[in-house]
Amino acid sequence: MNQLCRSNAANRIVRFVKTLYTEGSSPTTAARCYSTKLAPEPSTNIGKASPVASNVPTERKSIIPPNYRYVYQEFLPDPKVEWRNSVREKLERKDMLDRRANIDIPEFYVGSVVAVTSSDPHAENKTARFVGICILREKCGLRARFILRNVIDHQGVEISYDLYDPTLQKIEVLRLEKRLDENLLYLRDALDEYSTFDVNMEPEILPEGSPVPINDVKVVLKPRPWYARWERHNLQGVANIDEHTNERKRRKAEAVAQPWEKYDLMKEYRRTIPEEEQKEIFTEIYSQLHSLELARKKMKRKRTFVKPTKLA
């Protein structure tokens, strides 16, 4: 009796295995019996592109130039979360584009020599023109501002301008360049020769497409007192800062220094706008900025004067 039961069970197992591997069963059905993962669909058209694969969207390359985050840095909002407001930021960007449609705001950085013509009701021609080196650019949106410095009649003069001030009539870049530091406020304590520029200075035109040059000049500071404790700022553009710093001030500077900040990724994240959000902002304004750039380049070619090699 036991032997009969065993033979019947063996026959049932054999029949079950045969049903799994019959000619009519597909590999997909057999695979599903032993695995929870779906097997790939059998390809009937060998050598032909699958219609499913052709419909998969490929990642498109961004058309936004990577230097937009530096050229149009005022379009990026303040990274502090408590000051963010998406509606206000969108309205400000619209107002900034409308303002740029009325006045040409060229590309310039800290260290560039800029000439600004603004309305002045007390001037003779109701306009005033000031030439100076840009020593600071700060803030964002409609509150973006920059400071120009020049030494006139042995007296240092600084003027702060709002970048989108409606009283500005013209902004010219006479010399486009960068410096080694983020701001040049230490020029207030430097020799006058580093902040002296001719008010009738002619613009220096760079070839189209050339990179922005970096001026690696190192200024010489005057003896103390200074505007700030420059020995604590890790400046790259100052040559003689150690000459005016004694051992006591050097020890204090080392005590308050925080060299580990450059490795603090979370702190750096809070100080900046994420790259994904930057792309979203510049995608919104790219078309209008691009059209303004093309118009500016067209006018620049008309103003460019090429000196003839042969005289008539």
Give the model confidence (pLDDT) of 199-222 as tens digits.
Answer: 999 999 898 889 999 999 999 999
The model's pLDDT over 132-182, given as tens digits with 9 standing for 90+, comes to: 999 999 999 999 999 999 999 999 999 999 999 999 999 999 999 999 999
CA 86 centroid distance within chain: 19
Please give the model's pTM, rounded to 2 decimal places: 0.77
Residue 254 in any domain: the answer is yes
Helix (H, G, I), strand (E, B) or coil at 159: strand
Average pLDDT over every residue of 277-296: 92
Does 309 reside within a domain?
Answer: no
Q: CATH number, domain at 90?
A: 2.30.30.790
pLDDT of residue 31: 39
At 224, is the secondary structure helix, strand, or coil?
coil
Whether 207 and 227 have beta carbons less than 8 Å apart is answered as no
Would residue 56 count as lying in a domain? no
47 found inside a domain:
no
The answer to whether 177 and 109 have CB atoms below 8 angstroms apart is: yes
> Residue 6 domain-assigned?
no
> Does residue 108 fall inside a structural domain?
yes
Mean pLDDT of 179-187: 96
Parent domain of 96: 67-299
Q: Is 291 domain-assigned? A: yes
pLDDT at 56 over 90: no
114 neighbors 108 (Cβ within 8 angstroms): yes
pLDDT tens column, 288-301: 999 988 988 887 77
Residue 85 lies in a domain: yes
In the sheet that 113-119 helps form, which strands lie side by side, from edge to edge? 155-162, 145-152, 127-138, 113-119, 168-175
Task: Please state the domain count of the chain.
Answer: 1
